[in-house]
Structure 1
């Protein structure tokens, strides 16, 4: 049992998995509605966008950077699809790809300014956040738009309108990027760049390419999260993602899942489990009639406790006890 416990604790996802299971068991015991199909769909649809964005956030945090603009990129992408189809006559699939490319280009811009012009990523992406917000509100006149006809059907069902589409996409992205971070040279270099940038550069790692690439991944994932949310709610809303809400949720999920804000360590699966914990917590509180106001109090405590636990577990690992 001791060996099993030590093996379990070696994984950064261990603590957040225990929390997720504990919350699920608690809410199952206090309300029968929690395990109903409709409620599980609600949890999956609340978890998926945050988990998708958290994957990109984890890659950036591990490489020593952060992106504050992913939430508003999620709002811009569906409008780009709408403009391309309804105003520019672009076919459905190319319009969706254009929306994703918009996120990729914004990520490239963030990476270029941060890496090449040496502006701290916090400042760079804060500026991008306000700029993109202005673009969304100006071009949309702060009004929602309808889903374009060519994608309001099978494509929409496939991309998010169907009950379990969100979960399917989230699982595919989480598994793929987990393999990338843990089993590929890109992942190894991402960890090296975040843990010791100078040493990584001296070892021949192209640090600029790694960081800019991770910004582009994060931007693309933000755009994709915005698209599937638009299809889910069946409208294109300038407030998709709640402005900075989606970004803060993704960062919270990454931190709760065991990613270090200082860079050099993190886990994609942990970030996804962190998003699940936040979704289950908010959903369960609503079911048992607790006001939404204490949610932020609990969220703040969860972030602090998880960071303290991560620091403690890191010390134990370095001491060779786990």
Structure 2
């Protein structure tokens, strides 16, 4: 579809293979996931902001994590849903493609840093409870959030610029539902092996950099919980960390599948499934992981519902 050395100015997204009927089923499924994710995370943000009982560092970080989840799923899923409704391939400009990839990567990076900060917060809460309010004060929490956002947006500038400096002359058809970096490398006529290797190292740096404080924090947390004499005390201490630990395991597993691979040009089906895990499944699970077993949040939610019912009656 392109000349020998002419670079693409727009791309065509193949989306999902299959018949129009299967596309309608996929649209219904992903629209449900997207709607629940957005509404669930908005509900978390509203309740955290509205209820005084949730004015603590853990819920402050959770509110920002919910904002990130909404933004991450919104970078690609609305476009993906639109593509499932339209017959044939979907056109996306070079600028829109680079913007989507940049937002997708930098928001994911910010989320990893925030997850590491939440692990440290749980370490301080369990292992240094008497100094918790001093260490995790409001200035510290705001600073951590600002750093996570700034680092994510700055760290991914070079990777995206390096990707779109390539010459895309083989084709302008991307076998994906979004502007996947691995698929972009497949379309390039340039020798991108060195760039791919550097991007692989950068992905490893982000994930390992987030995992190290998380692993260290949970090592100390577990050793502290084991020493608690009463079973109820151990259960209460563990319940404060269980939601975050579950989210870290799911998030890291899906990101390891997608990002940490020396060969960026892996099979399209593999990339599609891994991207769905990161973009759809993990953000969908977030509201349930952090709320269903959280008694304080459930009480706050019930109070909000009662207030809404009273307003409706009046």
**Larger-Rg structure:** 2
- TM superposition score normalised by structure 1: 0.29
1 or 2 for the larger relative contact order (CA 8 Å, sep ≥6)?
1
- TM superposition score normalised by structure 2: 0.29
